Structure 1
Amino acid sequence: MMGTYVVVGAGLAGAATAWQLARRGHEVTVLERSVPANGEGSSHGSARIFRYAYLDPFYTRLVVDARVEWDELERSAGERLISPTGSLDFGAGRDPAALAAVLGKLGVEHELLTGAEAGARWPRFGFDDGAGVLWHPAAGVIDAETAVSAMLRLARADGARVETGRPVASVERVGAGHRVVGLDGRTEEAEKVIVTAGGWLPELLGDLPLPKAFSAGFPRLQVMQENAYHFPYRDVPEGPWPAFIHKTPAMLVYGLPGGRDAALPDGGAGQKVAEFNGGRPIRSAAAQNGEIDPANRERITAYVRRTLPGLVPEPYAETTCLFTNTPTEDFVIDGVDGITVASPCSGHGAKFAPLLGRIIAESASGERAAPRRFRVGA
């Protein structure tokens, strides 16, 4: 049975949900507070890691399923959204051998190398020799902004309406349905509402007509204003640099080719490098100031100087972005009485976007519940 839906937020999660609902024949309206994939959210830019390596097999299986959805999205959109680069995992805290065991059980191609073997293959990296290095070639880089645009274009082609400049203030119950009220007083009515507001969710959550038990069980959300930097390559690489995740005793660092975000005036490019959850905790997206933390810049520059000899340890560009974390880093996809709240974030949601859109759409429509660990009170 077809229904009417309002989706709040047009980042990766919201765009994916709108696409999955619209292609199933539902009537969909997307309300975006600014413009899709804008710089104040978590889905802007051209560089997010697509990787399979998780210590938890649940998430690796989810990546395998997500790749199928990405392939379908790329076929439907007629454009490539994931560029292959492969990915490296190293550092004792990352436990490359355990990661390799998970990939092996799920049939994901990989190699477990010694630090010396990896250093011979990737001399622009400085590897810890003790724990080994995991390489899995099917990893890549997601163009997040282009993916959002593609999913919204496909959703529109199936009848969805996308409204920009429409920040939402609250949701009210109206008969058997709901009224979504904007900050400007404009309203939209639908049978069901799906909130995919990312870093704006903490301030909107209290204005949703949700039962007290549901709200009480909702995991605490912590929004982080993260810092990311682009460092130039010392020489022109023959092929793309791999993405990487390196866990030291002091921090978890990730890097990836920066795509359009890393473009230099001379046509060159660089590597995006950042510390996972190394930024500043804020109340919600409304509290962000876009300012880089000088101490974090110094810490990452020192890391590049020490660990990535193939990069010039002087960032030529820097930016902030938002991570919205749950205590377990699991996603939240659950709802009650026609309102579904989805926060597939915690800094690792981008790689699952089209799959999460399907899970959210099926959960909201009653077709199939989200995985148990994504539900409130799990």
Structure 2
Amino acid sequence: MKIAVVGGGVVGMSATVALLDAGHDVTCYEPGPIMGERSVGSTRIFRFAHVEPELVRLAGEARRGFDRWSELAGRPMVLPVECVITGSDLVERASAMAEVGADFEVVRAGSGRLRLPVREEPAVALVDVGGGVVDVDAVRAFLTERGGRAVVHEPVYRLDVTAGGAVAVTAPGGRTEFDALLLAAGAATAHLAAQVGIHVPPLLAHHLRCTFPVADGEWQAWIDLPRDRPGTYQHLAGPGRWAVGSAVEAAEVAWERGRDAAEAASRTALLEYARTHLAVDPTIVDEIYCTTVPNLDDGVHVRRNGPVVANYGVNLMKFAPVLGRDLAAAVST
């Protein structure tokens, strides 16, 4: 089949590679660098710890996919440093992991099982033994080598489903018809999906991740979800570099606030959080900005209208190998 993929983030590139491996004629439209918007950065958290058992199972399939990619690339894709979950939903996450058979421990402060750069250890925590950190640079290099030849660095202006059931893509290079199309375009997904009769939540929010100097150590990744303040995700982003995201009220990063104001609010909140809670140098040494969809919980959303399949969600990096496989299968049938 002749198939278009709109979006060269980790999901779009994973699907592009799977489609190429299956022998299809693929064009992937991406106006910027490969994995350069919501997939930007060098690291992400990988975890089994989800509230829904089906997502725990999906994480298991994804981990096996990352292992296959690692064998092909000759370098590890997931650094197995574990992932700690604290705050709300611990009982639900433990129950879901137990149902699937994912390895975890529930521990208390002072147990010796926590390796977090904190001023005070959390009272109780779930240690996701199979969790860790995704080496995004390794993933990007692998997907670019395997699928980069299919990428056209152009924006997509318009999508149309033709009377004959094909999908027409209008880009700077002209109008091209395809048998089917996968839409995984991040912030551009909602308005392009609307052109072909698919509703995707149109709201966006600003997001900033800041990195602070930290003492050398094999720190665990950490997701903290307290009930009384905004949650955070944190992990080692490289030797001596501790990345922290969130910790800011939703109203401060709403789309209508504008990027500059949202970044300033995020920067202030993250600096205060680092000074108050973390054993790091509260000096920002790196920042990563992206857009996100507010009010979406963990999970994968897929909608279809005829030959067009649209995918959206948050925190999708950890599912990339299995998403690429399954979305490629969906769009080619």
Q: TM-score, normalised by structure 2?
A: 0.89
**SS of corresponding position for 1:342:** strand
- 1:135-154 correspondence to structure 2 within 5 Å: 135-154=127-146
- How far off its partner does 1:328 sit? 5.0
* Aligned 1:1-378 pairs, distance under 5 A: 3-38=1-36, 41-91=37-87, 93=88, 95-118=89-112, 121-122=114-115, 124-125=117-118, 126-129=120-123, 132-155=124-147, 161-164=150-153, 166-174=154-162, 175-182=164-171, 184=172, 186-208=174-196, 210=197, 215=198, 218-233=199-214, 235-237=215-217, 240-248=218-226, 249-259=228-238, 269-275=240-246, 278=250, 280-282=253-255, 289=259, 293-309=263-279, 311-325=280-294, 327=296, 329-343=298-312, 345-346=313-314, 348-366=315-333
Q: Is the 8 A contact 1:23 1:155 kept in 2?
A: no
In structure 2, what is the Cα distance between the partners aligned to 1:294 and 1:288? 10
Q: How many angstroms does 1:255 deviate by? A: 0.2
Inter-CA distance 222–123: structure 2 relative to 1 (3 Å threshold): closer
Q: Are the counterparts in 2 of residues 219 and 327 from structure 1 also a CA contact under 8 Å? A: no
Aligned length: 328
1:317-375 alpha-carbon deviations (Å, 9 max, x no partner): 223122235645542223122111111x32x1110011111111111122xxxxxxxxx
Whole-Å Cα distance in 2 between the matches of residues 292 and 258 of structure 1? Answer: 23
Structure 2 CA distance, aligned partners of 1:327 and 1:253?
15
Moved over 3 A (4+): 120-124, 173-176, 276-279, 287-292, 325-330
Contact 2:104 2:126 in 1 (8 A): yes
The question of whether the paired residues in 1 share the 8 Å contact of 2:31 and 2:155 is answered with yes
User: Whole-Å Cα distance in 2 between the matches of residues 20 and 108 of structure 1?
Assistant: 27
> Which residue number in structure 2 is paired with residue 265 of structure 1?
none
Amino acid of the residue matched to residue 224 of structure 2? Answer: H
CA contact (8 A) 1:37 1:145 kept: no
CA RMSD after TM alignment: 2.4
Work out the CA distance in 2 between the residues paired with 1:288 and 1:60. 35
Write the distance in 1 (CA, Å) between the matches of 2:34 and 2:12. Answer: 9
- Cα 1:146–1:224 shift into 2, 3 Å: farther
Distance 2:55 2:15 in 1: 20
Provide the secondary structure at the position in 2 that maps to 1:111.
Answer: strand
In 2, are the aligned partners of 1:4 and 1:28 still within 8 Å (CA)?
yes
Please tell me whether the aligned partners of residues 7 and 31 of structure 1 are also in contact (alpha carbons under 8 angstroms): yes
1:282 and 1:202 map into 2 onto residues whose CA distance is 15
TM-score by length of 1: 0.79
In 1, Cα distance between equivalents of 2:322 and 2:298: 17
1:191 counterpart letter in structure 2: D
Structure 1 gaps of 5+ residues are: 260-267, 367-378
CA distance in 1, matches of 2:32, 2:267: 29
Whole-angstrom distance in 1 between the partners of 2:34 and 2:109: 42
Residue 121 of structure 1 deviates from its aligned partner by 4.5
- Identity among equivalent positions (%) equals 22
Q: Secondary structure at the match of 2:111?
A: helix
Q: Which residue of 2 aligns with 1:370?
A: none
